[in-house]
Structure 1
């Protein structure tokens, strides 16, 4: 009887220890830096030839390397700047997706280049050439992008016209930037396949990919993140940031997205306070909208921007 009581008392501690160990593994799996670009999902392998065509263009196009905090090895950030084909005051900052880098956004870079924009392609913290050990899913990146904005304005002038564009994690980064005090040069935002909150996104993926419940894993991962990066996952909400936004914003999302469900696009759309448009692309999986019809995608983006920007 006494032995059974000891086992019963020990059981919760064993379960808690196992849950914590599993949460530590989940945190490392999802948040730890990797120094390679993971292979794209199977549904987008058919676009590989077209993708590498854009990458070849990106590698050949003249560009400048910009650096923030060059002497601080722990906070050094790198971006590549592609001047417009003709001198222009219009610049787009393109925010890349999870475990990507600026180069992986080559197709969007060419899109905006063709529209006459200068293009800035940062590598976010813990991605590409930028420093960092853990991915922050846009929450700290949004503050870094404020520094990139200031660098653009210093380099190109106070009469700059700036657009923020992002896809997937980059889309959420743009959405989270929207709640900050942005310089008046920022005129419009475009977010493709951004999540409404990292807590909701992690809970969704845990259930879908690993068949695990939100509790106790998400709260434990959140506690680990607080110790490693200084904030709880509940702090990372696109919707709360969008509720402070008054700039025009275009949301793009595929209705077949099983990575970031398109219901999140409706939550983000409902949250924002600025002029807004929502384009749900039929048949598109996660960040597939461009690849289904690049010309249509470019035309849709251009049409949105002509409403709010003065071309030069």
Structure 2
């Protein structure tokens, strides 16, 4: 099945960064209610990718295609990624990018908006929901609970890319990811502390027991810090973020969003 069509959107953040995005209308509106329970035109879903990712990648487009069964989807590139402007701060100012996406969906007539984040995008989604408090549901997939984690080889490689000039150059050349060389000051609130501020907005934490970046303890820390309503899914055999997400898992996430908006 071909991917659902998307329409280009140019967002502008509160601090003036240009964000490259695309809107995929709900397939239910085009194909009828046989796709599932009627959610109505008000449902919007923001998809926030992981570090060095892009909404233009096939894995991300596959996720958007499935989620469009449950509402209109706005996917975007974080600052410093792909065709967006600016430099990535790896989870700090990126909450402004999510805010711009949420604001766009609200402006187009979506009073109900969910944010689904993957890896770095999950950390940003949780922080945005806790600090801005203007979404109606949030999903953290493969997200970290705390900063500076170096307990796995992939995360040590990520820190090398972030902290060393040669690493930042490699990320720019190979992944089109432009990383700031300025250290956090102050250090932003960690995701597990932000998770405690999300209620009464529902939170879903999804994590794989085969995640090579963040072990499942991160998911448990997020879940335990949060207040009800919340859910925790530990997925057997699931690896990390978008690349490992199956259509079945994404469909279950879409149904969870549907259940909280019905």
TM-score normalised by L of structure 1: 0.65
Asked if the contact 2:119–2:141 (Cα under 8 Å) also holds between the matched residues in 1, the reply is: yes
Deviations 1:42-99 (A, max 9, x none): xxxxxxxxxxx8xxx44xx4322222339x9x72111111111217221100000110
After superposing on structure 2, the runs of 4+ consecutive aligned residues of structure 1 that deviate more than 3 Å are 205-210
Q: Which residue of 1 aligns with 2:63?
A: 108
Could you tell me which of 227, 231, 244 is aligned with 2:197? Answer: 244
Give me the whole-angstrom Cα distance separating, in 1, the residues matched to 2:69 and 2:133. Answer: 26
SS class of match (2:151): helix
Q: Which residue of 2 aligns with 1:204?
A: 151
Give me the whole-angstrom Cα distance separating, in 2, the residues matched to 1:170 and 1:109. Answer: 15
Give me the whole-angstrom Cα distance separating, in 2, the residues matched to 1:177 and 1:114. Answer: 25
Q: Which residue of 2 aligns with 1:263?
A: 217
The alpha-carbon deviation at position 207 of structure 1 amounts to 9.4
Higher RCO (Cα < 8 Å, 6 or more apart) = 2
Give me the whole-angstrom Cα distance separating, in 2, the residues matched to 1:81 and 1:123. Answer: 12
TM-score normalised by L of structure 2: 0.77
Could you tell me which of 79, 84, 98 is aligned with 1:145? Answer: 98
Q: Which residue of 2 aligns with 1:222?
A: none
Give me the whole-angstrom Cα distance separating, in 2, the residues matched to 1:299 and 1:65. Answer: 24
The alpha-carbon distance between structure 1 residues 150 and 267, as it changes in their structure 2 partners (threshold 3 A), is same
The alpha-carbon deviation at position 257 of structure 1 amounts to 1.1
Q: Please list every run of 5 or more consecutive structure 1 residues that lacks an aligned counterpart in the other structure.
A: 1-52, 218-224
The alpha-carbon distance between structure 1 residues 103 and 205, as it changes in their structure 2 partners (threshold 3 A), is same
Q: 1:82-93 to 2 correspondence within 5 Å?
A: 82-85=24-27, 86=29, 88-93=41-46
The alpha-carbon distance between structure 1 residues 123 and 209, as it changes in their structure 2 partners (threshold 3 A), is closer
Asked if the contact 2:119–2:144 (Cα under 8 Å) also holds between the matched residues in 1, the reply is: yes
Give me the whole-angstrom Cα distance separating, in 1, the residues matched to 2:114 and 2:141. Answer: 14
Give me the whole-angstrom Cα distance separating, in 2, the residues matched to 1:253 and 1:227. Answer: 30
The alpha-carbon distance between structure 1 residues 274 and 142, as it changes in their structure 2 partners (threshold 3 A), is farther
The alpha-carbon distance between structure 1 residues 270 and 129, as it changes in their structure 2 partners (threshold 3 A), is same
SS class of match (1:166): strand
The alpha-carbon distance between structure 1 residues 149 and 302, as it changes in their structure 2 partners (threshold 3 A), is closer
Give me the whole-angstrom Cα distance separating, in 1, the residues matched to 2:226 and 2:26. Answer: 31
The alpha-carbon deviation at position 168 of structure 1 amounts to 1.2
Give me the whole-angstrom Cα distance separating, in 2, the residues matched to 1:97 and 1:121. Answer: 12
Q: Which residue of 1 aligns with 2:117?
A: 166
Q: Please list every run of 5 or more consecutive structure 2 residues that lacks an aligned counterpart in the other structure.
A: 31-40, 164-178
Deviations 1:21-42 (A, max 9, x none): xxxxxxxxxxxxxxxxxxxxxx
What is the number of equivalent residue pairs in this alignment? 228
Q: Which residue of 1 aligns with 2:130?
A: 179
SS class of match (2:5): coil
Q: Which residue of 1 aligns with 2:139?
A: 190
Asked if the contact 1:142–1:174 (Cα under 8 Å) also holds between the matched residues in 2, the reply is: yes
- Structure with greater proportional helix content: 1
